[in-house]
Structure 1
Amino acid sequence: MSDHPALTRWHAWQQLADELERLLLFPQTVADFPQALINTAKQIDDMMSQDTDLGVFEVVRISPDKLARYGALHSLHTACVVWLVVNRKEWVLAKRLIALQAALAMNIAVTALQTTLAQQPGPMDADQQMRIRNHPTDSANLLRSLGVSDETCLTAVAEHHEQPGGKGYPRGLDSTGEMADLLRTCDVFCAKMSPRAGRTAMLSPKAAEAIFRHRSANYFGATVVTTMGLYPPGSLVSLGSGEQAIVTERTRDPMRPIIALLTDSEGQPLDAPMASGTDSSGARKVVGPAASAEPGKLFAPTDVLKTR
């Protein structure tokens, strides 16, 4: 374990992801599941408060884990985006924690299946389709059987794929509650940034644009995009110099994030990531997202975070 503060917090995120994966895959083995879920929500609330940019980095960065452990990591990352939104909207702690619990557990009935589907090159079979269609209700029922009793949380889980006008599933409700709308929007955003078999992860600015085109965006969509920013931590970006970099921290100017350089101006990998600021008009101006996800594979996240 490193004494570097960012690395210490990074390792804490990885430990939390491991614990959440066990919680979601084997919930019946947990002695007090409701309390474990509450404790996980509190950890996320605390860790996002301590270092928001590191939490966003965890959500946005390109990683093979996002495919190999899709089910658990998607729930974790959705909870982080939920935190960003409810923090911006100044929800009180009790309501914030309910939203985080709902985000963490909304897919508990299909956590393993989600990972299978993320790695499955072909379409879903009939059984998989049925399980996915029914998973909001199945997840709410499973949570209730595990002792979760908060009706706001359970309702949000049961309705997080419903859409106005009866266009969602599984029940085709005409309207849903505020928390279900929040979960759906953050769920869509994170899903668009995650890889699938045969499809690379969508770079964050493109995901932000896509969410507005999605019929489920609702008014939470604007908050997701503005809170994340155009180039959030974890984003791969191209500079005016031709260098490729990854964003490590935001600044007050959304066009001038703090970055770690990954390549030189010819696209050749550096010996190690190098910290740098960006400018608004010179060579280190961010001109857009990186052309591909390849620069993100050059260095481990720990090497990148050492530049902070």
Structure 2
Amino acid sequence: MQLLKLVESQIQIGVPLPWNVRNRDCTLLLAKAYVVRNESQLEMLLERGMYVDAEEVRALAAAQAPPPRTIQSIYARWTGAIDTLELLLPALPDQKAGFAPRIHALATEILELAALDTDIALFMAVRQDQARHLRYGYSHSVYTALLALLMAQRLGWTPERILQLTQAALTMNASIAELQGHMAHQDHPVLDRQRARIRQHPHDSAALLERAGITDAGWLAAVRQHHEQVGGGGYPTGAAAVDEPAQVLRMADVFMARISPRTLRAPLSIQEAARQMFRDDQGGPLSMAVIKEMGIYPPGDLVQLASGELGVVLRRGAEARTPLVAAVSDAQGRSVTSTLQRDTSDPAYAVTGAATDRSLLARVPPERLYGYALDA
């Protein structure tokens, strides 16, 4: 038995001993859980000499050690962010004490994931799971938050403003998140009662946030105004003056909605959605922030190459039209088992346009393109 000598700081008066205490000859003096009652008793024991079995010390340290941190892939963390929002928003009215720190933690997670690998973040947003329409209300908010924060960073906003914007994006549709999923899944046009809820949801969502204890005026204003338009014509009030955060939210919201699939319609291509956004914004700084951040062919887009191959965009390139691409078919359009990276700045592999049939994307998981060693 290997003995370790105890010192005064290791014994707490009035607290049960966590191990057996022995003398130098290994004779048991005090059994585990014995309580030293006062200073005089402690001084007497220290004079005699107190020792503990090294194995007991190691066993106690192991038992008290925190559990090892579970390592998650970056892809799982993005899915987990959607899961978290799906738990938070439906219970919003009952979370007055705990909602603010939870949504702050989720916004911080999204900011961290975006910084960890922006190309993978965009890949996850662009290449959405078309079979999971019922979760659309939550995935849409998460990916809108991503695009909004990237726009704000491009515009040079402070970290505090960007965090506020991210929280607003996550909660702007709090009152209709479930409805959005049902509408994405339904096989009939929007009903009048659904349209009425949609038009009222900016105010309803802000009211839910206030009931949950949110008092940040900028956050609440962005939620209330995120469907208003500068000069009027938006909803729910038709206000002509709209704060900049709400303008960013509206553009990110509309852009992500246009590239997202529904049961009744296919998503717009990235390029067509960008054209419409640029036209609506008249080439203003907000639409340019989106285009500069994503490029013409963002990660997750399926493109046709001059070589005849189809490829999935992996990473943005030095130029908007020259991304790094992973070929997923050969020149004859047949799927390939190996993934070959193509530098589209090379004329032999230049992007000739976006692919029209995106069904191949469903068979290309991100792990195949980026690998598994992206844990954080």
Give the TM-score normalised by structure 1: 0.92
Aligned residues: CA RMSD = 2.0
Q: What is the aligned partner in structure 1 of residue 354 from structure 2?
A: 289
Q: Is the 8 A contact 2:294 2:316 kept in 1?
A: no
Q: What is the aligned partner in structure 1 of residue 80 from structure 2?
A: 15
CA shift digits 1:87-107 (9 cap, x unpaired): 111211111100000111000
Q: What is the aligned partner in structure 2 of residue 70 from structure 1?
A: 136
Equivalent position SS for 1:109? coil
Q: What is the aligned partner in structure 1 of residue 202 from structure 2?
A: 136
Cα shift at 1:28: 3.9
Q: Is the 8 A contact 1:244 1:295 kept in 2?
A: no
Cα shift at 1:217: 7.8
Equivalent position SS for 1:91? coil
Q: 1:218 to 1:65 in 2, by over 3 A?
A: farther
Q: Is the 8 A contact 1:269 1:298 kept in 2?
A: no
Find 1:115's aligned residue among 170, 174, 181.
181
Higher RCO by CA contacts (8 Å cutoff, separation 6 or greater): 1
Equivalent position SS for 2:319? coil
In 1, the alpha carbon distance for the partners of 2:334 and 2:268 equals 23
For structure 2, list consecutive stretches of 5 or more residues without a partner in the other structure.
Answer: 1-70
Pairing of 1:205-224 with structure 2 (within 5 A): 205-214=271-280, 219-224=285-290
Identity of aligned residues (%): 34
Q: Is the 8 A contact 1:244 1:290 kept in 2?
A: yes
Q: Is the 8 A contact 2:119 2:299 kept in 1?
A: yes
Cα shift at 1:214: 2.9
Q: What is the aligned partner in structure 2 of residue 299 from structure 1?
A: 364
Q: What is the aligned partner in structure 1 of residue 343 from structure 2?
A: 277
Rg larger in structure:
2
Q: What is the aligned partner in structure 1 of residue 253 from structure 2?
A: 187
Equivalent position SS for 1:261? strand
Q: 1:256 to 1:290 in 2, by over 3 A?
A: same
Q: 1:213 to 1:255 in 2, by over 3 A?
A: closer
Q: What is the aligned partner in structure 2 of residue 27 from structure 1?
A: 92
In 1, the alpha carbon distance for the partners of 2:360 and 2:151 equals 29
Q: What is the aligned partner in structure 2 of residue 99 from structure 1?
A: 165
For structure 1, list consecutive stretches of 5 or more residues without a partner in the other structure.
Answer: none
Give the TM-score normalised by structure 2: 0.76
Aligned residue type for 1:266: Q
Equivalent position SS for 1:100? helix
Find 2:313's aligned residue among 241, 247, 254.
247
Q: Is the 8 A contact 2:133 2:182 kept in 1?
A: no
Aligned residue type for 1:132: I
Q: Which structure's residues are more often helix, by fraction?
A: 1
Q: Is the 8 A contact 1:67 1:194 kept in 2?
A: no
In 2, the alpha carbon distance for the partners of 1:22 and 1:217 equals 38
Q: 1:55 to 1:66 in 2, by over 3 A?
A: farther
In 2, the alpha carbon distance for the partners of 1:22 and 1:216 equals 38
Aligned residue type for 1:80: L
Cα shift at 1:80: 0.5
Cα shift at 1:67: 2.4
Cα shift at 1:178: 0.8
Q: What is the aligned partner in structure 1 of residue 28 from structure 2?
A: none
Cα shift at 1:25: 2.8
Residue 88 (str. 1) matches residue 125 (str. 2): no
Q: What is the aligned partner in structure 2 of residue 149 from structure 1?
A: 215
